[in-house]
Amino acid sequence: MRNLWFLLFICSLVLTACGGRANAQSDASAKKTIEDTGSDTIVNLALAWAEAYQKVNPEVQISVSGGGSGTGIAALVNKTTDIANASRKINDTEIQDAKKNGVEPHEIEIARDAIGVIVNPHNPVQQLTLQQISDIYSGKITNWKDVGGENRPIVLLSRESNSGTHVYFLAQVVRLGSSTDKTLFSQDTLLLPSSEGIMAEVRQNPNAIGYDGLGYITPDVKTLAIASKADGEYVKPSVETVNNGKYPIARPLFMYTNGEPAGDVKTYLDWILNPDGQKIVGDLGFVPLQ
């Protein structure tokens, strides 16, 4: 009889342990993860959103990674992310590839951004026109003296071609918004993998010129005033000049999903677009939608 009670006691311990493991596994599986991949311009904003949202909704984990807009859109096409961050619009080829793979890209504008043109603080140049910037980056102008600066060679800095900022700058600045223009970046352009890399190089190189999203520009570089035309108004990038349309190098920022967002992804995106999410946009130096 004593042996029988001992066996029953051991069985009860085993069942309790198994039940505890099952409950732990159930709790772990209940925590849902949203994959969010893409634009390096958006990545810091996406990380800030993810951190804030998980305090509001701890049952959902947001996994954020960068790599560029092209990387994010490719992940959406390949069905390896829930959200693709992009600082440019998805192009026709990417849409076709997505549809071939059963993906219907759905676009959501989540913030706005200005691209500032930056130089070293010791550079005396204060302003440029879009045409001058195009001529500089295409290699037609190679010395700062030709745009009011000192007799120094211009060192060109750009993001890599997978960057949405690179694609936008090429289309809207180097090619001046012309869909038929085939002008390319000068072969002397140094392609850097990150916004932080461009900032670091401009800080230490008095001959450098670069461009970066407004949220990444720090006070230790000089941001140039830009005019659409030589006789136009020269304007620096800011939330105000983006919203009033005066700054000429401004763009929307996007998130893409496979079809209309639903479930936890929709709830998260709705939060991003509400005042709490948009406040973070302004706090990080980008331009809120509201």
In a domain, 96, yes or no: yes
In a domain, 6, yes or no: no
pLDDT at site 30: 53
Same domain, 105 and 118: no
pLDDT at site 166: 95
Same domain, 79 and 36: yes
Strands (E), the chain: 32-38, 60-65, 83-86, 105-119, 127-129, 155-159, 190-192, 208-213, 222-223, 225-227, 250-258
pLDDT at site 12: 45
Same domain, 138 and 239: yes
pLDDT at site 278: 97
Same domain, 243 and 189: yes
| Residue among 110, 108, 144 nearest 124 (CA) | 144
pLDDT at site 205: 98
Residue 172: strand, helix, or coil: helix
pLDDT at site 9: 43
How many domains does one find in the chain? Answer: 2
Same domain, 137 and 229: yes
What range defines the domain where residue 223 resides?
A: 113-250
In a domain, 77, yes or no: yes
pLDDT at site 27: 43
In a domain, 279, yes or no: yes
In a domain, 58, yes or no: yes
Same domain, 240 and 131: yes
| Residue among 75, 68, 80, 64 nearest 38 (CA) | 68
pLDDT along the chain (290 residues), means of 10: 44 43 42 92 96 96 95 98 97 97 98 97 98 98 98 97 94 96 97 94 98 93 97 96 95 97 97 97 91
pLDDT at site 1: 46
In a domain, 1, yes or no: no
pLDDT at site 290: 67
Same domain, 126 and 245: yes
* Structural contact between residues 37 and 28, judged by C-beta atoms closer than 8 angstroms: no
CATH number at residue 173: 3.40.190.10
Same domain, 126 and 66: no
